[in-house]
Structure 1
Amino acid sequence: MSENSPDLEDDTGTYESGLPGFLGTIDEVIAKTEAFMLAVGVILMAINTCVNVIARYVFGEGLFFSGEINRILIILITFAGIGYAARHGRHIRMSAIYDALPVKGRKVLMIVIALFTSLVMFFLCYHSFGYIETLYSRGRILPALGFEIWWIYIWVPVGFAITGIQYLLTAIKNFTSKDVYLSTGVVDGYADTESEV
């Protein structure tokens, strides 16, 4: 594989939505928010873990709140990450039937998949909100940090909602364009991944 392969997507650049007008603006705002949350979450988790390990070896005991902070950050990264993966067409998919279809068949199937996945994400968003209401009513608190536990689960319905919106936008993109899109900015296809040995 050459160093400058134009076929491979580069996630290090600025994201540009493939949607027109207002939908494109919404898509770009969500993309920037997700990228920021993921970057900050991973950096904070790395710092927290390193500081905890150093404290354990230098002072004989780790930070009492480190585990709870990492728990919060794992939830944040997981549920911000599902929308990010959907936006970049990076979710695992089984494509044997899909790949065997002609372009029109793939387009129809992709629209059905995107709409169904969007519905599932909104369904999970609704039920995760109900779970947060249950946690809120119980009044449980985090032992080390001392604030109510329901706060750390706010990211769950937010992540499901963002992912649902992303799949809905993918369905709209497929309705309005001639190509087949895995997400609003990723055209269906396989990059040349052969390498010389």
Structure 2
Amino acid sequence: MRPSRSITHRLLTLLDRIIGKAEMYVLGWGIIIMALNTIANVFGRYLFSQSIYFTEELNEFLIVIITFMGLGYVTRKGRHIRMSALYDVLPARARKVLMILIAAVTAVAMLALAWYAFEYVAKIARRGRVTPALQFPLYLTYIWVIVGFAVTGIQYLLTVFKNLDLSDPDVYISFTTVDEYEDPEIAEVMHLYNQDHPADSDAGQSPDKSQ
């Protein structure tokens, strides 16, 4: 690996780690706060006959955060749903090229959605709307939509970069995740098949992939 490429790879690895830490922190605390808020509301309702007036509103806000930050996290872990019947029958090099194309197109789509979301949030901010219960600026709720789409787009761009090294036989479905079988039984069957049919080892993987 050339020095300039090595430096770029280290910088992108650092970026991926920073994003990953931020995603885990936001998602973890979002789920914890939602659980505590819901439990407190149940106790208040049944023990003191008094619900927390902002519980529903706060949970809706947290659902937005968890959903769109979770989109980036799932992409980083390579856990998104894929229709891979045609992809699986291609040779390894062709799968790598196709993954670059898929990730690049998806990245453009995600960043475009982030831009449209930004325009929508900016319009809400100009109108000065607030939430009914907490009187919280409404646009701050939807900022997480922008962040989620933008982070997901960045994750797909990192996937593109990771697959640009065509000398690497592995195909990456994210910056850190190799495209492989997670079901040990399927993995063992494919390993035995490749041993018996070495000429077909690059022909692809079974469409029964667990992703």
> TM-score surpassing 0.5?
yes
SS at match of 2:145: helix
Is the counterpart of residue 100 in structure 1 residue 89 in structure 2? yes
Measure how far apart 1:193 and its partner are: 4.1
Q: Counterparts of 1:83 and 1:162 in 2: how far apart (Å)?
A: 6
> What is the CA distance between 1:157 and its match in structure 2?
0.6
Are 1:32 and 2:41 matched, yes or no?
no
CA distance in 1, matches of 2:32, 2:178: 31
Looking at structure 1, the residues matched to 184 and 133 of structure 2 have their Cα atoms a distance apart, in angstroms, of 48
Aligned to 2:77: 88
Which ranges of 4 or more aligned residues in structure 1 deviate by more than 6 Å?
A: none
Q: Cα offset for 1:156? A: 0.7
Aligned equivalents of 2:135 and 2:39: distance in 1?
23
Residue aligned with 2:159, SS: helix
Equivalents in 1 of 2:61, 2:126: separation in Å?
20
- Please name the residue that 2:176 is paired with: 185
The Cα shift of 1:35 comes to 0.5
Larger Cα-atom Rg: 2
- Could you tell me which amino acid in structure 1 is paired with residue 178 of structure 2? V
Which residue of the partner structure matches residue 111 of structure 1? 100
- Code of the residue aligned with 2:27 in structure 1: it is L
What percentage of residue pairs aligned between the two structures are identical?
A: 50
TM-score computed with the length of structure 1 as normaliser: 0.86
- The answer to whether 1:52 aligns with 2:36 is no
Residue segments in structure 2 that go unaligned for 5+ positions in a row: 1-7, 187-211
Structure 2 partner of 1:76 = 65
1:60 maps to amino acid:
S
Looking at structure 1, the residues matched to 111 and 145 of structure 2 have their Cα atoms a distance apart, in angstroms, of: 11
SS of the equivalent of 1:61 reads coil
Alpha-carbon distance between aligned partners in 1 of 2:50 and 2:102, rounded to the nearest angstrom: 50
Structure 1 residue 146 and structure 2 residue 141: aligned? no
> What do the CA deviations read for 1:44-98 (whole angstroms, capped 9, x no partner)?
0000011111111112231110011101110110111011000000001101011
Residues of 2 paired with 1:70 and 1:51: CA distance? 12
CA distance in 2, matches of 1:63, 1:21: 48
Higher helix share: 2
Q: Root-mean-square deviation (CA), in Å? A: 1.4
3-state SS of paired residue (1:47): helix
**SS in structure 1 at match of 2:173:** strand
Instruction: Give TM-score scaled by structure 2 length.
Output: 0.81
| Distance (Å, rounded) in 2 between the aligned partners of 1:153 and 1:61 | 29
**Farther-moved stretch of structure 1 (94-103 vs 185-194):** 185-194
Following TM superposition, by how much is the alpha carbon of 1:105 offset from its aligned partner in structure 2, in angstroms?
A: 1.2
Cα offset for 1:194? Answer: 3.8
Tell me, yes or no, if structure 1 residue 132 matches structure 2 residue 121: yes
Shift of 1:162: 0.6
Q: How far apart, CA to CA, are the structure 1 residues paired with 2:184 and 2:37?
A: 37
